[in-house]
Amino acid sequence: MEKIDVKNVKVVNADPSALGLFGLAMVTLVASSQKLGITEGVSFVIPWAIFLGAFAQLFACINDSKRNNTFGTTAFGGYAFFWFAVAMSWMIQMGAFGKGLQSTVDPKQLGFAFLGYLIFTLFMTIGAAETHKVLFIIFVLIDFLFLGLTLSSFDIAYEFTHKLAAYSELFIAIFSFYGSAASVLNEHLGREFLPVGKPLGIFIK
């Protein structure tokens, strides 16, 4: 009987976190400029929401799943679909899909969506705490972003909660740029060129 040689091939995928964080950084930078009143409207926020906020993070999600990274897959995938939904919501509000849909818009429905994402982000923050400190800071800021978005959508202390969302989003962009740079350069240079901090070590025994 002929002997059959069996070989195991290990496929190694690059860490997609740098691209995912870059996508998050870009979309929150552009979107925060509108919330802060530096720019007007969301017409030119939509492309960045779709291609950077959504597709870049979806790419990171799919590739993290190949690395058996449940946390990264869920985080990048969850926020990718958030940006798809937000972009479409803006387009409906602007009448891109007809006046019928535009005329029945209720902003409070977005408030409930933001509330759902606040709940999602709160438990994902626990996972971020055991990844590294920069990611933990990003997730805490996302918590504040969704808190501000939820409350402002329900017109609760609107001026304060809108500003809370705006500044949280800006700082998400800043820390995400840093996290993306650290992910690329630390791996590429083979040393900790940009420190990200150790996990908090309070949830893992």
**205: confidence class by pLDDT, cuts 50, 70, 90:** confident
Residue 6, pLDDT above cutoff 80: no
pLDDT tens across 12-46, in order? 789 999 999 999 999 999 999 999 999 999 999 99
**9: confidence class by pLDDT, cuts 50, 70, 90:** low
Are 149 and 115 spatial neighbours (Cβ–Cβ below 8 Å)? no
Residue 133, pLDDT above cutoff 90: yes
Closest CA to 52 of 73, 14, 82: 82
Question: pTM of the prediction?
Answer: 0.93
Locate the domains of the chain by residue range: 17-189
pLDDT tens across 121-131, in order? 999 999 999 99
pLDDT, position 1: 59
Q: With H, G, I as helix, E, B as strand and everything else as coil, classify residue 19.
A: helix
Q: What DSSP assignment string belongs to the chain?
A: ---------------THHHHHHHHHHHHHHHHHHHTTSS--STTTHHHIIIIIIIIHHHHHHHHHHTT-HHHHHHHHHHHHHHHHHHHHHHHHTTTT-HHHHHT--HHHHHHHHHHHHHHHHHHHHHHHTT-HHHHHHHHHHHHHHHHHHHHHTTSSHHHHHHHHHHHHHHHHHHHHHHHHHHHHHHHHTS-SS-------SS--
Are 87 and 50 spatial neighbours (Cβ–Cβ below 8 Å)? yes
Mean pLDDT of the chain: 95
pLDDT tens across 172-191, in order? 999 999 999 999 999 999 99
pLDDT, position 3: 67
How many degrees, rounded to 5, is the angle at CA 192 between CA 19 and CA 30? Answer: 30
**140: confidence class by pLDDT, cuts 50, 70, 90:** very high
pLDDT, position 33: 98
